[in-house]
């Protein structure tokens, strides 16, 4: 585990979150900020909203209005760096989405994921590249990101798994395995796997990207659909598997397990394959605590179900039976430092309650402290101020 850490305590984190929610006011959308003229260089641009981040870039674009279902087409003026490279400016929001449904906003989530991403980006750029610029003045927890608007997307999600994590997502290996299937994305699955148990090796399990829902497929299916070539896929997979090893090597001695992750890639103007969007964040990956996991698996393998239930209830107050019982058997349910924790609160199309938002925010703060090994120090300025100051710095590198 991390040594000499000066983390916020649970009580301090709870107080921080409670104060935020108590004083929470309305914030402007990214589009409203641009429309206001606060950033003269970006006035008149149309923002492309996303699940978690909004994008600003030059040229044509489109998106589906979630409220009306209408397709919005737009064309923005050029937005380039001084060397002519097309830019894409992204603004992180505090939105949280599970099962493709927006559940609301989580205090400090934008800052936490920014710091998480930037730390991992620097660690892994030698392995998987990056489309992102380092802009002077933008700290790691800044909610504004500047990157190259890649000339070509590699149109699949690159999903790697080291464990059969329990999941209700239809694209997951877990769901396929529990339904009796013994092949997944081209991998032969052995008998004897158990929920949240280890896989024989890190498996590459690509997923298509769809406006409706993703589908897990084999690499050969990607080739047949002309999504990418075998050569491109090999580069993405090999770099990502190497990065997975680097992440495991980095976190395991510090008491954290790298469970799975997904990354996205594109081709830059030099023809090089690079990563884009989030890299090994708590939203794009799963992280578990080593000691907690080992204790649970030991009890599970020894058939000590009553002791395992007792341990779970002591370490995860409020845990429900549905979270740890599968087909009548008590299984390991690791304490998660990722969005996986939030999924447990999801019900139908309902948003999260204030209490749930607070609990999720607490877990994000605890998670970032464990992952980065340092005290969480939030930027307490109003969100609008943080976004505007970040956009001002972002456009400083634009023509």
DSSP codes joined into one string, 10-34: HHHHHHHHHHHHHT------HHHHH
Q: What is the pLDDT of residue 240?
A: 97
Please give the Cα distance from 357 to 359 (Å, whole number): 6
Please give the Cα distance from 274 to 295 (Å, whole number): 38
Please state which CATH number belongs to domain 152-281: 3.30.470.20
Helix (H, G, I), strand (E, B) or coil at 302: coil
Task: Kindly indicate the confidence band of residue 378, based on its pLDDT and cuts at 50, 70 and 90.
Answer: very high
Domain boundaries, the chain: 10-150+374-397, 152-281
Q: What is the pLDDT of residue 171?
A: 82
Span of 43-47, 97-101, 356-360 with lowest mean pLDDT: 97-101
pLDDT at 212 over 90: no
Instruction: State the pTM of this model.
Output: 0.92
Burial class (CB in 10 A: 0-12, 13-18, 19+), 137: exposed
Statement: 10-150+374-397 belongs to CATH 3.30.200.20: yes
Q: What is the pLDDT of residue 211?
A: 55
**Residue range 329-347: average pLDDT?**
90
- pLDDT tens figures, 102-137: 899 999 999 999 999 999 999 999 999 999 999 999
The span from the first CA to the last CA of the chain, in angstroms, equals 46
Q: What is the pLDDT of residue 3?
A: 52
Place of tokens 């991390």: 2
Q: Would 10-150+374-397 and 152-281 be classified into the same CATH topology?
A: no
Locate the DSSP E strands across 231-385.
256-267, 273-276, 285-289, 325-326, 329-330
**Residue range 242-259: average pLDDT?**
96
Q: What is the pLDDT of residue 214?
A: 78
């Amino acid at each position: 585990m991390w040594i000499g850490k000066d983390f916020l305590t649970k009580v301090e984190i709870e107080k921080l979150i409670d104060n935020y929610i108590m004083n929470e006011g309305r914030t402007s959308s990214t589009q409203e900020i641009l429309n206001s003229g606060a950033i003269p260089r970006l006035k008149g641009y149309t923002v492309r909203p996303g699940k978690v981040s909004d994008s600003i870039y030059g040229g044509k674009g489109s998106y589906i209005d979630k409220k009306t279902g209408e397709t919005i087409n737009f064309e923005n003026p050029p937005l380039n760096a001084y060397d002519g490279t097309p830019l894409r400016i992204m603004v992180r929001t505090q939105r949280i989405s599970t099962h493709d449904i927006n559940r609301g906003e989580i205090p400090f989530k934008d800052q936490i994921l920014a710091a998480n991403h930037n730390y991992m980006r620097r660690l892994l750029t030698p392995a998987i590249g990056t489309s992102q610029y380092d802009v002077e003045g933008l700290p790691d927890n800044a909610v504004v990101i500047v990157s190259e608007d890649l000339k070509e997307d590699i149109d699949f999600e690159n999903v790697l798994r080291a464990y059969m994590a329990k999941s209700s997502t239809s694209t997951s290996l877990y769901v396929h395995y529990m339904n009796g299937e013994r092949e997944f994305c081209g991998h032969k699955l052995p008998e004897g796997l158990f929920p949240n148990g280890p896989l024989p090796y890190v498996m590459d399990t690509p997923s298509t990207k769809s406006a409706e829902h993703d589908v897990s497929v084999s690499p050969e299916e990607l080739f047949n659909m002309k999504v990418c070539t075998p050569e491109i896929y090999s580069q993405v997979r090999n770099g990502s598997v190497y990065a997975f090893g680097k992440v495991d090597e980095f976190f395991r001695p510090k008491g954290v397990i790298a469970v799975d992750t997904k990354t996205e890639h594109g081709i830059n103007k030099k023809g090089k394959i690079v990563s884009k969007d989030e890299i090994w964040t708590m939203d794009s990956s799963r992280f578990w605590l080593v000691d907690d996991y080992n204790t649970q698996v030991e009890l599970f393998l020894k058939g000590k179900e009553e002791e395992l239930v007792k341990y779970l209830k002591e370490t995860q107050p409020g845990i429900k039976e549905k979270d740890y019982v599968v087909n009548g058997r008590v299984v390991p349910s690791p304490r998660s430092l990722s969005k996986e924790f939030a999924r447990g609160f999801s019900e139908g199309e309902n948003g999260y309650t204030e209490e749930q938002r607070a609990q999720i925010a607490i877990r994000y703060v605890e998670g970032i402290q464990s992952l980065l090994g340092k005290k969480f120090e939030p930027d307490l300025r109003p969100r609008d101020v943080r976004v505007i100051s970040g956009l001002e710095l972002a456009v400083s590198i634009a023509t």
